[in-house]
Amino acid sequence: MKKDIEIPESKGIYLAAVREKNEEFQSMEWNAYLINDSEKSIEMVLIVTNGFDKEESTSTMRHSIKILPARSFAKIEFLQDEVLRLNNQFSVTYFADDKMYEKTFLFKKNSVNEAALKDLPIIKKQGILVK
């Protein structure tokens, strides 16, 4: 029975932490973005995030995106400097081609830092990408 269940592989969907200026507060901050680098739109995107390590964890946050068009991106949330010392997990579930996909992205603790910045697809900025 289990062999009959098809679990589609998520391709072209990435998560990135981007360092950018907050014009309102005149400060630099980290923001999490979902990137759709595929040829198709994804729909009903649900994102569950939390930070954790052995001793502590953050509150669980939930986000949704109705449609993320092909070759586009969407800002998910602000990442406080205090939570970057924890593992930050993003569980993403979405529909494409009438199938449900699921993928978990993990920024390991202390991996989001300026020394790790690289060019990102689609966004045209520098950041930390997890696939």
Number of domains in the chain: 1
Tens-place pLDDT, residues 18-44: 999 988 888 899 999 999 999 999 999
State residue 46's pLDDT score. Answer: 98
Let me know if residue 95 belongs to a domain.
yes
CB atoms within 10 A of CB 101: 18
Let me know if residue 3 belongs to a domain.
no
Buried b / exposed e along 62-77 (16+ C-beta atoms within 10 A): ebebeebeeebbbebe
Let me know if residue 62 belongs to a domain.
yes
For residue 91, give its domain range: 12-124
Among residues 63, 72, 69, the alpha carbon closest in space to that of 45 is found at 63
Let me know if residue 114 belongs to a domain.
yes
User: Residue 1 pLDDT more than 70?
Assistant: no
For residues 86-112, give the mean pLDDT.
96
Q: Report the C-alpha gap between 19 and 32 in whole angstroms.
A: 9
Q: Report the C-alpha gap between 127 and 75 in whole angstroms.
A: 13
Let me know if residue 2 belongs to a domain.
no
Let me know if residue 1 belongs to a domain.
no
Q: Report the C-alpha gap between 33 and 121 in whole angstroms.
A: 11
pTM above 0.85, yes or no: yes
Let me know if residue 130 belongs to a domain.
no
- 102: CATH: 2.60.40
For residues 49-56, give the mean pLDDT.
96
Let me know if residue 6 belongs to a domain.
no
Helix H, strand E, coil C: the string for the chain is CHHHCCCCCCCCEEEEEEEEEECCCCEEEEEEEEEECCCCCEEEEEEEEEEECCCCECCCEEEEEEEECCCEEEEEEEECHHHHHCEEEEEEEEEECCEEEEEEEEECCCCCCHHHCEECCCCCCEEEEEC
